[in-house]
Amino acid sequence: MIEVDNPILPGCHPDPSVCRVGEWYYLVSSTFEYLPGLPVLRSRDLVRWETIGHVVDRPGMLEFDGIGSSGGLYAPTIRHGLGLYWVVCALVDRDDASRGGNFLVTATDPAGPWSDPVMLDAGGIDPSIAFDDDGRVWLHGTRLAAEPEWPDQTEVWVREYSPARQALVGEEHVIWRGAVRGAVWAEGPHLYRIDGRWFLIAAEGGTEFHHAVSVARADRITGPYVGNRANPVFTHRHLGRTSEVIGAGHADLVQAPDGSWQAVMLAMRAADGRHYPLGRETFLCPLSWEDGWPVFAPGEGRLPRTVRIPWPASAAPPGSWQPDDRVAGVIAPADPRWTALRALPAEVAVAEGGAWRLPVRATSLREASAPAFLGVRQQHQDVEVRCVLDVRGLAEGESAGLVLRQSERDHVTLFVSRTAEGLLLSSERRRAGDALRQDHGAPADADEVEFALSGRGYDYVLRHEGVALVTADGRELDASATGGFLGLWIGVHATSGGADPRGEARVTRFEYAPARPGRRDR
Ligand code: 6LW
């Protein structure tokens, strides 16, 4: 028996999808406008996860320029079938429905490389894929209902996929519109063939406070599907705003080698029942079967704080494996946690001897383009980040600093700018597009500038050389305040503010640590 604290993947890891192949579990989650996209994590025990690669890790695999915050890569599904690993996902531009769409990639090794995307002739989001015993492959997903009975009603479609033709073939079937009359956003569908029947797991209620999980089953994959009378079979919405975990839903099921079942799903830690700066995180949920139906968190009915898993802890995987989200300390350039915006980290920066050289770009954080930005998810509610920027290479008019980011419209920065008179330290709080800027005089050091960020629940403080210069409120920066789907990211940024960029900053040190190591972070 091993125990693991929920969430199993803290920080923004929404829409988790999991599969098992032999002794390994593989998991992917949504990454939106951050690249590399779709981390692939593996585990032998569902407890300790290691990032082994990313699905979208090459320049030009997909076009992200112009895709605004909380657009991009949504809700991937990972499966193994026909001797290959498959990921299906949607690329979404929230301002331009003609861009992107559902796509599919395959790999012989889940660490990559993954194939170039095959775009699928199917609208909507949240694609998934299932393999029948007879070798046929079926894609499914969700989209706004063609003939809605109420606003935001969606429908789940299923259609055969021909690997030979790399195309959807045959008739399309609409199999589900939510379990409850009036249900919005029946989504995140996954189909499973279990004991000769087809089971559909789907979210409904929207990926916020009213999120829920429903289940239906059918004799044939194309239906008709009959919902469980207990639908929605899992939710936290009835717990109200005093529940410390809200929004549970978007589940995917996996069976262990011993025959037992678990589910992964997203949920949010919201101390006030509403706001969740870390975004939607991945939780583990025990699952049993009763009377031919899955029961989530049997006997308990909610996501456990600590999950007891009925198998021995796995041997440590090969190499210098550590659960990468729990490691405190310096995040070196080779660390898989680094992300950039709409471009790969290696496209905007150069790893040089343990440091990042970050050439200044004209783009600012306000544009849906690829700025000179490198960042990591905030994964702990109480956190300390410290970075040292060598700013000798900044040209006049250019600036570089530390960022707490939600979106183009919502972020907080503490930065230095090179002016004709020397370096100037400033901060900017941007909220719903409006900026409040303050100048704080000259930094203590003209070569290497130290910035730090402390997060304690909803309270953030950004410092220079130990002096608090700007604060931020996580209740104003989180997705429920700003809209969208993201948790907060902490990173570094350099810009020339639109002028021709000439200089660079060097990120000589970037440290990330839970504020109270050893304590449970909740
Ligand atoms: C995801 C969908 C959802 O595709 O949020 O509102 C999207 N619902 O299931 C992004 O995570």
pLDDT digit string, tens, across residues 99-121: 999 999 999 999 999 999 999 99
Does the CB atom of residue 30 touch ligand 1 within 6 A? yes
Structure tokens at 491: 């990173």
Decide whether any atom of ligand 1 lies within 6 Å of the 102 Cβ.
no
Query: Is 187 a residue of the active site?
Result: yes
What is the C-alpha to C-alpha distance for residues 131 and 78, in angstroms, rounded to an integer? 12
- As a whole number of angstroms, the distance between CA 259 and CA 264 comes to 16
Distance between CA 99 and CA 121 in Å, rounded? 13
CA of 26 to the centre of ligand 1 (A): 20
Give Dmax over CA atoms of the chain in angstroms: 76
Give the pLDDT score at 517.
52
pLDDT band for position 325 (cuts 50, 70, 90): very low
Q: What percent of the chain has pLDDT over 70?
A: 95
Cβ 132 vs Cβ 221: under 8 Å: yes
Residue whose token pair is 């395959």: 106
Question: Is pLDDT of 312 > 90?
Answer: no
Long-range contacts, stretch 222-230, CB < 8 angstroms, 24+ apart: 222/158, 222/173, 222/175, 223/158, 223/173, 223/175, 224/175, 225/175, 225/176, 225/198, 225/200, 227/179, 228/179, 228/293, 230/293
pLDDT of 97 strictly over 50? yes
Point out the ligand 1 atom lying closest to the alpha carbon of residue 74. 4
Single-letter residue type at 258: D
Kindly report the protein residue whose alpha carbon is nearest to atom 9 of ligand 1. Answer: 188
What does the mean pLDDT of the chain come to? 95
Which tokens hold the place of 444? 């203590």
Mean pLDDT confidence for 45-62: 94
For tokens 């190591």, name the residue.
517
Residue 173 near residue 222, CB atoms below 8 Å: yes
CA-nearest of 315, 320, 316 to 334 is 320
Measured from the Cα of 75, ligand 1's closest atom is 4
Q: Say whether pLDDT at 271 is over 90.
A: yes
Q: How far is the CA of 427 from the centre of ligand 1 (A)?
A: 33
Centroid of ligand 1 to alpha carbon of 309 (angstroms): 28
State both tokens at 157: 């479609």
Distance 349 CA to ligand 1 centre (A): 30
CB of 223 within 6 A of ligand 1: the answer is no
Q: Domain residue spans in the chain? A: 2-309, 329-514
Query: What number does the ligand 1 atom closest to the CA of 125 have?
Result: 4
Q: Is 74 in the pocket of ligand 1 (CB under 6 A)?
A: yes
> Atom 8 of ligand 1 has which residue's CA nearest to it?
207
Determine the pLDDT at residue 47.
86
- Using the 8-state DSSP alphabet, how is residue 367 labeled? S
Q: What residues are paired with 266 via a beta bridge?
A: 249, 282
User: What number does the ligand 1 atom closest to the CA of 280 have?
Assistant: 11
| Burial status of residue 211 (CB atoms within 10 A of its CB: 0-12, 13-18, 19 or more) | buried
Of 431, 430, 398, the C-alpha closest to 415 is 398
Specify the pLDDT at position 3.
86
**Residue 522: is its pLDDT beyond 80?**
no
Q: What tokens were used for 149?
A: 């009975």
Dihedral in degrees, nearest 10, Cα atoms 416, 419, 422, 423: 0
Query: Under CATH, what is the fold of the domain 2-309?
Result: Tachylectin-2; Chain A (2.115.10)
- 97 alpha carbon, distance to own chain's centre: 21
Measuring from atom 10 of ligand 1, which residue has the nearest CA? 74
pLDDT in tens, 336-356: 999 999 999 999 999 999 999
Judge if 2-309 and 329-514 fold alike in CATH terms: no
Confidence of residue 2 (pLDDT cuts 50, 70, 90): confident
**Amino acid letter, residue 26:** Y
* C-alpha–C-alpha distance, residues 518 and 232, integer Å: 37
Atom of ligand 1 nearest to the CA of 188: 9
* Burial category of 95 from C-beta neighbours within 10 Å (exposed 0-12, middle 13-18, buried 19 and up): exposed
Q: Does residue 34 have a pLDDT over 90?
A: yes
210 lines ligand 1 (CB under 6 A): no
What does the pLDDT average to over 360-375?
Answer: 98
The one catalytic residue among 33, 93, 155, 187: 187
pLDDT interval class at 310 (50, 70, 90): confident
Tell me which H or E stretch contains 168: strand 167-176
Q: pLDDT tens for residues 118-135? A: 999 999 999 999 999 999
Q: What pLDDT, on a 0 to 100 scale, did the predictor assign at position 48?
A: 84
Q: What is the pLDDT of residue 311?
A: 77
Is the per-residue pLDDT at 39 higher than 80?
yes
- Residue 327 has a pLDDT of 55
371-417 residue pLDDT tens: 999 999 999 999 999 999 999 999 999 999 999 999 999 999 999 99
Distance 75 CA to ligand 1 centre (A): 6
CA distance 275 to 194: 38
The model carries a pTM of 0.96
Q: What is the mean pLDDT of residues 414-434?
A: 97
The CATH number of 329-514 is which of 2.30.130.10, 2.60.120.200, 3.40.1110.10, 1.10.1520.10? 2.60.120.200
At 180-215, the pLDDT tens digits run 999 999 999 999 999 999 999 999 999 999 999 999
CA 8 to chain centre: 13
| pLDDT in the model for residue 515 | 86
369 C-beta closer than 6 A to ligand 1: no
| Concatenated DSSP letters of 325-345 | GG--EE--TT-TT-BEESS-H
pLDDT at position 319 over 90: no
pLDDT reported for residue 355: 97
C-beta of 206 in contact with ligand 1 (< 6 A): yes
Only one residue has tokens 């996954």, namely 190
Q: What is the rounded average pLDDT of the residues 454-470?
A: 98
